[in-house]
Structure 1
Amino acid sequence: MRFRVLGPVRMQPRTPTAAKPRVVLATLLVQSNSVVSTHSLIDELWGMEPPRTAATTLQVYVSQLRKALLEGGDTEERGQPLLTQPPGYLIRVGPDDLDLAVFESLRARGRAAYDERDYATASRLLADSLALWTGPALSGIPHGPALQATAIRLDELRSEVLEQRIGADLKLGRHQELIGELMALAHEFPMRETLHGLLMVALYRSGRQSDAVQAFHRVRRALVDELGVEPDASLKRILSRVLASDPALAWNPAWARAARPALSPSATVSALPAARDPERSGPLLWLPPALTDFTGRDEELARYERLLAASGAPRIVAVSGRPGVGKTTLAVQLAHRAKGFEAGRILLAMRDSAGRALTPYAAMSALLRRLLRPVPDVLPSEPEELADLLHRATRARELLLVLDDVVSEAQVRPLLAAVPDAAVVLTSRRPLGALEHARHLVLDVLAPRDARSLLLATGGPRMAEDPAAVDRIARLCGRLPLALRVAAGAVAVHPHWNAAGLARRLADERTRLGALSLGDLDVRGGLLAAYQEVSEAERHAFRTLGLAPLPDFPLWIAQSLLGMAPDAAEERLEGLVRSHLLEARPSADGPEPVRYGYHTLLRSLALDILDQVGGEEAATEATARLGRACLLRARAADARLTPGRDRLAGVLEPDLQGPAAHDPSVVVPLRWFQAEAPGLLEVLRRLHASGLWDLACALASATSGYYEACGLWDDWETGHELALDAARQAGNTLAEAVLLRSLGDLAWQRRHTGRAADYHRHAARLFTLVDDRVGAARCLTGEADVLLGLGEFDRAEGLYTRALEVAAEEGDTRGCAEARRGLALVALVAGRPSEGLAQLAECEAAARSLGDGRWRGYARRTADLVRGGDEGWARLEVRPGVWLMDDTRRIAA
């Protein structure tokens, strides 16, 4: 082996002497053949306060490791194993090059042999896996958060393998030779109850009943004195059987036999399951323990407890939901809480250790091996005979089965048909909608209150010190139970962490999933399993739709990103919804009946995969399609809301035509903008980041009418500042002029008069450069508005007049309406109401010609106020929805 982590971290031919390069090596090795991000490595080396030169120093460490690896002499043949691969580094390791990989392989084979009751092979394989260890895992180096969690996990795995190897040796009758080893282990781990139970069994089988009783009392004293708790129920059961001299606890030579005769399909059930496993008493129980800190889901548990307790009708509960939502946890909790089921409660995983789906035959065989005592080595080979045997083994027995991680209805139908008397709880990633007689429960994320309670219950006292940070963590985790447990566990096991620091680590969407990993709990891995299960077409859609704006998006956005027809795009979306990779959210008030969105962590996964798989060029092309689709509809809506206003319409991206321009959803423009405006601003950011300058400028211009109409000053400014930079990057003088004029209007509305006048004058010069007389004249109107607010009525009137002359010459109806509105205001404040009313009438006529209901209503409303006397227009509305209150009162007086 070339690399070792099961003990001191070492590599051949030479291990670096400095600790930091060995930390990098260890971090890469425990995630071998996978990319480890630069962010994770820096976090491992320096924690939450890295030096400013962290990235450069990390590159030095990687260079040192590469140099050491080159000294092996076989690098030319095998290639440099340490590779740079964005967003970090990857080390290539063969199956026999790393002791951890060999350990995992031997461990898996040993466990499989144990499950098949080949105890001799299991003992040998498990012993070989333990022989690889040379000390505590990952020793000799400082541990950051990931290495600390991995070291804990590996040491726990070592203990589990040791216990299973001892269990196999006990089955083989080696109880006397195990006593010394078990006594030493019991001394080393005084509160590990499983080891003490194995010691008690070994002593009892060696004829040392009193010593077995004393072993129980030693561990009980340790638990009571140190922890204040009593031994668990399994240890107490072993004691009661020792005290009762239970003959079933003695060793049975039949356990060590290599093979048994095949089970005849005609064998009667009464002849088979009478004997129980000697380590087991009472009903069969093949369930993980219930969580003591299980939180929420009270209504669901109560409802389905009642269903399982009912008699007569089939009792099948199908639990589905996205990865990490707690399907298995809920099913196990329900199985423990359900009343009755004296024959037993059994959980059966419907996938093997490699994640492959069990066949119906394999599932029925595995269930029979749980049910029958003694366990046959050979079962009927025909599915019909196997189903018949399973039916007779479960007939009239009160059993509760949990079938975990079901792949499809077809996988479980044969099994369910064979166990009609059993109650069944199924879990699956997809809803099993075609399953007969099933009651369905689709799990969602936890309620905010329950998410907070789970964090506080599992995160320890430091989590409770900052309630605001707890709420942020819950939100950033999307209230997903698995993510909440990982986040809380990370705070609990790292003494130098607190809730606020964890919230900061989770804030970056691109690195959030990397921070949600603790030991063998990996949120990214759980979510990735659902992604890998769907078709390649759906995987492409999942990662590409990560570019869609938050918080959700309509069908037409998906259509544009995927470059598909509406029906095909909808079919792809619904497939992702069925796989719980996407959410369908009915929209009663919006222009679209259904909108789609990601769970926050699934969006992080989509963007992460898109970075690795999609490529920058594909992402830019999809963003361009998205930008054009948004621009097309924004222009159509803007043309209805503020007709004739956008000077870039038809100039930038003039080819934007087609049926989408007449999309029924934009017929009510204000409603459409209200639904899509947050997403449009995010799309604008993406266009800017992708260097799609003209699209960014055009989209900003198409949305400013809505921002002005609704007074959304901050969004208006944010989008226009980005677009102004894009115009300058592209060298587009016309776009720069349009955006500067719009920013002038914004500054005027915010009463930043000096800045507003500067924007309008600068924009006018640029319009003149590109020979756009209409744009330059509108800038005169904007500057005149500034002067009007400052009380400089004569200068304002002159600018309004010049603007009106140009607008009339150029046929700019909107420019005429705006200039006449300004001239009406000057006449009113100067005490010439008849002239003001005449200008307002011309303004209304121009607005009617444009089809602009807002300006038409404004002109009519102002005229009515004037006719009502000075008191009626003391709060002067200078544009639709914009007032100059203080100055007007001064002028009217």
Structure 2
Amino acid sequence: MPFRTILWKCGSSAFSHLELHTRAACEVMKLKFRLLGNLQVVDGQKNFLLPPKLRTILAQLLISRGQTVPVEKFIEELWLDQPPATVSATMQTYIYQLRKILGAGGEAGKGYASLVTDSSGYALRTAPEDVDVHLFESRFTAGKLAFESAEYANAVESFEEAVAVWRSSALADVPRGPFLEAYAVRLEEARMQAIELRIEAYLRLGRHLDVLPELKALTLNHPLHEELHAKLMLALHRSGRRPEALDAYQHLRHGLADELGLDPSPSVQRLHRALLAGDPDLDHERAVDRIAVPAVNAPAQLPPDIAEFCGREDELAHLEQCCGRSGGDSTPRLVALSGMAGVGKTALALRLAHRLRRRYPDGQFFACFTAGRIDSCDHSVDPHEVIGSFLGGAGFTPDQIPGNLAGRSQLFRSWCADRRVLIVLDDVHSEEQVRPLLPGNPECAVIVSGRSPLYGLGGARLVEVEPMPPEDAVELMSIVAGSYWTAHERTTARRVAELCDHLPVAVRAIGSKLAVLPCLSLDGVVIRLADRRHRLNELRVGNTDLCHRLEWSYARLGTDARHTLHLLSRMVSVTFTAAEAAPVLGLPVVAAEAALTRLYDSRFLLASFDNTSGATRYRLLDLVRLFALEHGEEELEVGLAKRADFGGRVSAFTA
């Protein structure tokens, strides 16, 4: 049962049980909170142990910096959109337990930590120096300001203080939902940026020997990190150890080639050539400016990676290889993913982007071109709006951003000209949406995803995303359901995946149901899905609603294309050529081919080459067939009246 429904059914008692009233309840204590490693609550030498879900709640409170966290946010982080039926009592118990633990920390009045309840949620008020994350962010900000002012000695001191508070990875033992996962990723990125900027400051101070031991350790731990290797090469050269600097380059080159099939970036190759030539400019402390280093306040707009992602390794390897070389001497790396609704294009694009993001230290931009892609399918975001948000993320103020699209595009390209930037454009449906956002710098990369293939996007590697292989679909269902299945159960799970057409969105929906409905078995799922009248309804679970996604594509079809789809949904055969479909469509073969191509381009059909006939063989997935049958009755009569005219027009066009 969705969270909002539970609260509505509980009525006012839910709010009283959750203590959502205006009376403040405070317990003041002298405690230190540590999030940069395992979560710790420390009172002097005593470390309080918290159960997993309390660690999640406390982490949310601490990183909110005293701001109220709505109860809905706690519930979403703990259970996503599938809270237990007893969520009110459960949350009441967790808050009570947290109050007891915090209340044991010391005598009231001697500290600045207080747990406060108001009308919408909870807030934990703490002194900034009592939370290690706040200390890190404070010293990191001070270091960046000093670095920007060329006060490199002060920058080194601040960055060292910032890094010193880390014990291991952020929120290491905290169970994380989408919010905490994204926050932990941002913290890890900030930590690496602090390390790299501190090393950069050391180099600008001429203290090359001081950073050599750390750089050697960092390059061992990050063998494919090009910027760290570039700094090591430069530090070794300036320390009079040019042969070792050249060895460092070869180590990086072999690692990239063996692991990814890539060459080092052009900037690192230029540094290597300068080392070979004994370029005297390398002895100057400012020479490091030409090596890619993380930009201060670089945009980092990527959404969190998909937690339950699995499979697609061959596709990812191919895409990483495509993004490892430019399409030409002056064009950026550009890949365009296409595929039907629910096939996993966005998940694949995000997984690829997160794998690549360290190669693009000057910024990562993200935009979805379908506003409210789940709640609304009738409004597309304008490129003018997207490029404005990109420029804002790059640091431009509103008065610096041109009012027209051409001016914004020119400004964005100028900003990207000497930077390595990654751009992800999701749910694109035309080349016109993409072109204004393409940088001219060949060291940038662009990942585009959309239903239809962007044939007119010059220089793009077009990649079709297909439904998952059966075993990957079963594995995805197992991960989402949190289950380990026996051999017999895996056979049944394969049947479930088959009834889902191996589409990730449908498989996730069933996995979510299995996770929260203990009374539901795999055999029961097969029985439910086998009923074709109700199969689509069984797959409607929150945001994982295939029908809603199909509606978006269906709304963009013309009347003739809809009528073609409705007729195909009544065919007995699952696959067909244009010659086989022509009698059903009442069209000549050439006209039928044109009609089928239109549906393929809208991704209502899959297509493959038929070796026997030498023709294109189309496939209508069963879930798409059921969707078309649901929508076809009211439109079929209107379409029949237009069929003769449509056939004549298509025949004339293709003659």
Give the TM-score normalised by structure 2: 0.54
2:423, 2:446 within 8 Å by CA — same for their partners in 1? Answer: yes
Which stretch shows the higher mean deviation, 592-601 or 293-302? Answer: 592-601
Choose from 175, 185, 195 the match for 2:122.
Answer: 185
- The alpha carbon displacement at 1:320 in A equals 0.6
- The alpha carbon displacement at 1:459 in A equals 2.3
- The alpha carbon displacement at 1:455 in A equals 2.2
| Aligned-partner Cα distance in 1 for 2:117–2:440 | 43
Asked which structure has the greater CA Rg, the reply is: 1
Task: Tell me the residue number matched to 1:321.
Answer: 339
1:8–1:333 Cα change, 3 Å: closer
Q: Runs of 5+ in structure 1 lacking a partner? A: 12-125, 138-145, 157-176, 189-194, 206-212, 247-279, 626-893
Task: Tell me the residue number matched to 1:581.
Answer: 604
- The alpha carbon displacement at 1:452 in A equals 2.4
- The alpha carbon displacement at 1:360 in A equals 3.0
Q: Is structure 2 residue 406 aligned with structure 1 residue 376?
A: no
Task: Tell me the residue number matched to 1:458.
Answer: 480
1:455, 1:463 within 8 Å by CA — same for their partners in 2? Answer: no
| Aligned-partner Cα distance in 2 for 1:225–1:429 | 37
- The alpha carbon displacement at 1:556 in A equals 4.8
Task: Tell me the residue number matched to 1:448.
Answer: 470
1:232 partner amino acid: A
Choose from 501, 524, 534 the match for 2:557.
Answer: 534
Task: Tell me the residue number matched to 1:232.
Answer: 184
Task: Tell me the residue number matched to 1:7.
Answer: 7
1:398, 1:421 within 8 Å by CA — same for their partners in 2? Answer: yes
Task: Tell me the residue number matched to 2:414.
Answer: 392
- The alpha carbon displacement at 1:429 in A equals 0.7
Richer in helix (by share): 1
1:325, 1:443 within 8 Å by CA — same for their partners in 2? Answer: yes
| Aligned-partner Cα distance in 1 for 2:482–2:338 | 30
Which stretch shows the higher mean deviation, 399-408 or 578-587? Answer: 578-587
| Aligned-partner Cα distance in 2 for 1:415–1:226 | 37
| Aligned-partner Cα distance in 2 for 1:180–1:423 | 46
Task: Tell me the residue number matched to 2:587.
Answer: 564
1:345, 1:401 within 8 Å by CA — same for their partners in 2? Answer: yes
| Aligned-partner Cα distance in 2 for 1:291–1:147 | 18
SS of the residue corresponding to residue 618 of structure 2 reads: strand
Task: Tell me the residue number matched to 1:432.
Answer: 454
Task: Tell me the residue number matched to 1:488.
Answer: 511
- The alpha carbon displacement at 1:535 in A equals 1.7
Q: Within 5 A, what are the aligned runs for 1:310-709? A: 310-311=325-326, 313=329, 314=331, 315-338=333-356, 340-353=359-372, 354-355=376-377, 356-370=379-393, 372-373=394-395, 375-376=397-398, 379-416=401-438, 421-461=443-483, 463-464=485-486, 466-556=489-579, 558-589=581-612, 593-611=615-633, 613-614=634-635
SS of the residue corresponding to residue 359 of structure 2 reads: coil
- The alpha carbon displacement at 1:523 in A equals 1.6
| Aligned-partner Cα distance in 2 for 1:226–1:526 | 30
1:453 partner amino acid: E
| Aligned-partner Cα distance in 1 for 2:6–2:482 | 30
Task: Tell me the residue number matched to 2:304.
Answer: 289
1:519 partner amino acid: G
1:505, 1:512 within 8 Å by CA — same for their partners in 2? Answer: yes
2:565, 2:599 within 8 Å by CA — same for their partners in 1? Answer: yes
1:226–1:357 Cα change, 3 Å: closer
2:363, 2:422 within 8 Å by CA — same for their partners in 1? Answer: yes
- The alpha carbon displacement at 1:7 in A equals 3.1
SS of the residue corresponding to residue 564 of structure 1 reads: coil
| Aligned-partner Cα distance in 2 for 1:389–1:310 | 25
1:225–1:600 Cα change, 3 Å: closer
| Aligned-partner Cα distance in 2 for 1:605–1:234 | 40
1:404, 1:426 within 8 Å by CA — same for their partners in 2? Answer: yes
Task: Tell me the residue number matched to 2:319.
Answer: 304
Deviations 1:506-540 (A, max 9, x none): 11223212111222221211222222222222122
- The alpha carbon displacement at 1:504 in A equals 1.6
| Aligned-partner Cα distance in 2 for 1:241–1:333 | 21
- The alpha carbon displacement at 1:583 in A equals 2.4
2:481 partner amino acid: G
| Aligned-partner Cα distance in 2 for 1:598–1:237 | 44
- The alpha carbon displacement at 1:327 in A equals 1.0
| Aligned-partner Cα distance in 1 for 2:192–2:173 | 19
| Aligned-partner Cα distance in 2 for 1:185–1:468 | 47
| Aligned-partner Cα distance in 1 for 2:75–2:466 | 40
SS of the residue corresponding to residue 440 of structure 1 reads: strand
1:197, 1:238 within 8 Å by CA — same for their partners in 2? Answer: no
| Aligned-partner Cα distance in 2 for 1:452–1:584 | 24
2:353 partner amino acid: A
| Aligned-partner Cα distance in 1 for 2:86–2:402 | 44
| Aligned-partner Cα distance in 2 for 1:377–1:505 | 58
Q: Runs of 5+ in structure 2 lacking a partner? A: 12-66, 92-111, 126-130, 142-161, 199-294, 645-655
Deviations 1:301-323 (A, max 9, x none): 11221222225643111111111
- The alpha carbon displacement at 1:476 in A equals 0.9
2:314 partner amino acid: E
- The alpha carbon displacement at 1:470 in A equals 0.8
2:417, 2:439 within 8 Å by CA — same for their partners in 1? Answer: no
Q: Within 5 A, what are the aligned runs for 1:194-233? A: 224=173, 232-233=184-185
1:291 partner amino acid: I
Deviations 1:726-758 (A, max 9, x none): xxxxxxxxxxxxxxxxxxxxxxxxxxxxxxxxx
Task: Tell me the residue number matched to 2:108.
Answer: none
Deviations 1:744-780 (A, max 9, x none): xxxxxxxxxxxxxxxxxxxxxxxxxxxxxxxxxxxxx
- The alpha carbon displacement at 1:382 in A equals 2.6
1:348, 1:402 within 8 Å by CA — same for their partners in 2? Answer: yes
1:522–1:291 Cα change, 3 Å: same
- The alpha carbon displacement at 1:572 in A equals 1.3
- The alpha carbon displacement at 1:480 in A equals 1.2
1:583 partner amino acid: L
| Aligned-partner Cα distance in 1 for 2:469–2:432 | 33
1:388 partner amino acid: Q
| Aligned-partner Cα distance in 2 for 1:402–1:510 | 38
1:496 partner amino acid: C
2:388, 2:408 within 8 Å by CA — same for their partners in 1? Answer: yes
SS of the residue corresponding to residue 528 of structure 1 reads: helix
1:549–1:388 Cα change, 3 Å: same
1:285–1:222 Cα change, 3 Å: closer
| Aligned-partner Cα distance in 1 for 2:192–2:457 | 44
Q: Percent identity?
A: 28
1:377–1:532 Cα change, 3 Å: farther
SS of the residue corresponding to residue 576 of structure 2 reads: coil
| Aligned-partner Cα distance in 2 for 1:500–1:7 | 32
SS of the residue corresponding to residue 427 of structure 2 reads: strand
Q: Which has the higher contact order (CA 8 A, sep 6+)?
A: 2
Deviations 1:65-103 (A, max 9, x none): xxxxxxxxxxxxxxxxxxxxxxxxxxxxxxxxxxxxxxx
Deviations 1:395-422 (A, max 9, x none): 1101111111111112212222666652
- The alpha carbon displacement at 1:425 in A equals 0.9
1:233–1:479 Cα change, 3 Å: closer
Give the TM-score normalised by structure 1: 0.41
- The alpha carbon displacement at 1:186 in A equals 5.7
| Aligned-partner Cα distance in 2 for 1:570–1:226 | 52
2:75, 2:83 within 8 Å by CA — same for their partners in 1? Answer: no
Equivalent residue pairs, number: 426
1:333–1:513 Cα change, 3 Å: same
